[in-house]
Structure 1
Amino acid sequence: MTQYLIKRLFHAALILLGVTFITYLLLYLLPADPARQIAGRSATAETVANIREQLGLNLPFYEQYWRYLTQLLQGDMGRSWLQKTEVSTLISARLPASLQLMMAGIGVELVIGLTLGVVAALNRNSLIDRGLMIFSFVGVSSPHFVAAMLFLYLFAVHWSLFPIGGYGEWKHLILPAVTLGILGSGWYARMMRSSMIEVMHQDYIRTAKAKGLSRTRIIFRHLIPNAILPIVSMIAIDIGIFIGGMVVVESVFGWPGIGQLAWQAIQRVDIPIIVGVTLVSAVAIVLANLLADLVSPFIDPRIDLKKL
């Protein structure tokens, strides 16, 4: 286990290094001028040049990246160019809201997706199965902003069941979480259906039926526990998808998380915040995948971490 952890942490460090490099390179190649954004439209060329020099934007790419990497290794994620505040402070202030929304969204999509997947598998090739798979396909294909605007209009504006936006009460969480959860549930429904159908043809399921076990016991004791293993890995991948979706959903619903912070930074070309949010997101994805790998042997004892 220790050797496996050391190897995974080493790989994680390389991944995070690559993420910071690619993100910084893409932002460096942007045609937008951060110094102009900070100075304002009416600023003189001399003022813009001074700001560019103060921020080190006049330096070659490798020098800018090396300066950032050196600060990062010392625990300094830099300061926001526009808000004049430490990036770590801004992210830590908004991270709890994003984690709350992420956990609620994953909970919604697991409940909906796994339920639909099990029902579809148990009614394979029926009208129920086809209807649920069509619903899953629509959910997977729908853009986040379309669903967010639709739910906002129906449930907040038209029927006034939930607040239009905000943060603090459970009512504020419902619409953003359901928006993320319904769109993501399609993946889980399709994956759970496929996994259930595959497990149904295993020898131990035939043995359980031959022993006379009830259908309910076979489903909950043998089918679901063995079919759910791919879902664990999907949850880890889903964190990355959620972070991308939360940028849109948090902006639509006014949810004060890191997604909204990233969107504001993108509009203003505030590079330290953009890189900081990207790095935190990458760390979350890497840790989630590591946790999924560590949990998998407890779900399926046949998995040996030494062979991974």
Structure 2
Amino acid sequence: MAAYIARRLIQTVLILFGISFVTFVLLYLVPADPARQIAGRSATAETVENIREQLGLNLPFYQQYLRYLGGLVQGDLGRSYLQKTEVSALIISRLPASLLLMTGAIFCELLLGLTMGVVAALKRNTRTDDALMIASFVGVSAPQFVIGILLLYVFAVKLGWFPIGGYGTFAHLVLPSVTLGFLGAGWYARMMRSSLIDVLRQDYIRTARATGLPRTKVLFGHALPNAILPIIAMIGIDIGLFMSGIVVVESVFGWPGIGQLAWQAIQRVDIPIIMGVTLVSACAIVLGNLLADLITPLIDPRIKLR
């Protein structure tokens, strides 16, 4: 186990190095000038050039990247060009909101998706199955901003059950979590249905039924623990995605998470923040997958980590 974790952590470092390089290259090639954004439209060419020199933007690409990489090795994500604040501090300040949204979204997608998938598998080839799969298809296909705006219009504007936007109470969390959960629920429902149908056809399930075990015990004690294994890998990916922030949903609901921070940085060409959020997001995805890999053998001892 220790050797496996060590090997995965080394892979994580290499992945982050590659992502940092690719992202830095792409940002370097962006035609927008961060120095001009900072100086303002009325600034003189001399002022812009002075800002560019102060930030090191006049250096060749390899020197800029090595400077950034040197700080990154020491745990320094740099300073925001416009906010004049450490990027790590900005990300940490948005972390509680992102963690809260991640927890709510994963809870909603699991509750909806697994329930739909199990019912569809048990009622396969019936109208109930067809209706649930159509609903899952709608969830997967519908744009997030459309779902979010519809939920806001119905439950916040018309019914007044929830606030239109903001952050701070449980009521603020419900609509953005359901919006994200509705999208994920579609994937989970389809995956759970397929996996459970396959498990229910196995010989050991037939044997368990032949011994006279109650149907609920066969389902929850034998079928679901094996059918849920593919779901765990999906949860690991979702942890990373939700930790990185969902820009559209956070913008619709005014949620002050990491995604909103990234969107503001993109609009202002604030390169240190864009780099910092990208690396934190990549790290969250890799660690989420690692967590899923470590949990899987606990559910099914036949799976060995290599």
Q: TM exceeds 0.5? A: yes
SS in structure 1 of the partner of residue 246 of structure 2 = helix
SS in structure 2 of the partner of residue 267 of structure 1 = helix
Tell me the TM-score normalized by structure 2. Answer: 0.97
What is the CA-CA distance between 1:111 and the residue it aligns to? Answer: 0.4
Distance 1:5 1:240 in 2: 18
CA gap of 1:71–1:244, structure 2 versus 1, over 3 A, is closer
Report 1:51-130 matches (<5 A): 51-130=51-130
SS in structure 1 of the partner of residue 92 of structure 2 = helix
Same amino acid, percent of matched pairs = 71
Report 1:1-308 matches (<5 A): 1-243=1-243, 246-306=246-306
Tell me the TM-score normalized by structure 1. Answer: 0.97
What is the CA-CA distance between 1:164 and the residue it aligns to? Answer: 0.8
Indicate conservation of the 8 Å contact 2:240/2:286, yes or no. Answer: no
SS in structure 2 of the partner of residue 160 of structure 1 = coil
Distance 1:20 1:253 in 2: 30
Per-residue CA deviations over 1:219-277 (Å, capped at 9, x if unaligned) read 11111111001111000112344356621111111111111111111111101001101
Distance 1:40 1:96 in 2: 33
Indicate conservation of the 8 Å contact 1:144/1:245, yes or no. Answer: no
Distance 1:162 1:256 in 2: 17
Structure 2 stretches lacking a partner, 5+ long = none
Q: Which moved more, 1:78-87 or 1:231-240?
A: 231-240
Indicate conservation of the 8 Å contact 1:16/1:283, yes or no. Answer: yes
SS in structure 1 of the partner of residue 57 of structure 2 = coil
Distance 2:216 2:179 in 1: 32
Distance 2:83 2:244 in 1: 23
Distance 2:50 2:153 in 1: 47
